[in-house]
Amino acid sequence: MVGPACWRGVQRSLRLRGYEALAIDWGPPVDGEWYGEAAARIAAGLDSLHGPSVLVVHSGAGGLVPSIVEAAPGMVAEILFVDAIVPHPGRSWLETAPVALARKLCELAGEGLLPPWNQWFAVDPAAAMIADPVTRAAFAAELPRVSLTVLEMPAPRSRQWETISSAYLQLSQAYDAEANEAGRRGWRAQREPMHHLSMITEPDRVAAILVAMARAGPP
């Protein structure tokens, strides 16, 4: 639901630490086979790196993980979920959302397209998280209009991703249920008192946490 610039600061920070890092632009969610198309773009990005990589997914992108792993065999060594939903094979994104939000989005979808993410709510959530107006404006400028059809698509059924080591980084209270689910699944879970868009406002801190979590995972 956001643009690739959201993670550019973390990408730069990781590169300064000597790591290969990509913030992959996989395009806005549009009608068609979205899961497959997005996964193919991400797999192409992973293929440009040297060796198996750590896949970092944020927010709604957690639902793409099964498709990515299937499209990129042998390329993902570990998965780090950052304030992200847990994969939901066979269910749509709308089915994973709170009932009130799902109902509101159906009402907002004029001509099948939703307004940008920051306009889904009575108060722009980015205003409270991104204090700098220039940074906030740049973030808002990248927000795509998402087709409601995409959010209604059932995610492909695939369990291949479950064979890969996963960990969960919780940044905000909104993802308590997902972090608890990660613990139930036996994943390493870490909670930090930050916010959902901390990769924009504190990229160095987020990068350092990701490196530490990856090092604690499989070699």
Quick one: pLDDT at residue 219?
A: 64
pLDDT beyond 70 at 108: yes
By three-state DSSP, how is residue 200 classified? helix
pLDDT tens sequence across 81-98: 999 999 999 999 999 888
End-to-end alpha carbon distance in the chain: 32
Quick one: pLDDT at residue 53?
A: 94
Q: Compute φ and ψ for 8, nearest 5 degrees.
A: -65, -35
For 27, 75, 85, the CA distances from 198, given in Å and listed in that order, are: 22, 27, 17
How many angstroms separate the CA atoms of 210 and 214, rounded? Answer: 6
CA-based angle 187:174:110, to the nearest 5? Answer: 120
Structurally, at CATH architecture level, domain 4-215 sits in 3-Layer(aba) Sandwich (3.40)
Question: Across the chain, what does the average pLDDT equal?
Answer: 92
Quick one: pLDDT at residue 138?
A: 93
**What average pLDDT score do residues 101-119 get?**
90
pLDDT tens sequence across 43-88: 999 999 988 999 999 999 999 999 999 999 999 999 999 999 999 9
* Residue boundaries of the structural domains of the chain: 4-215
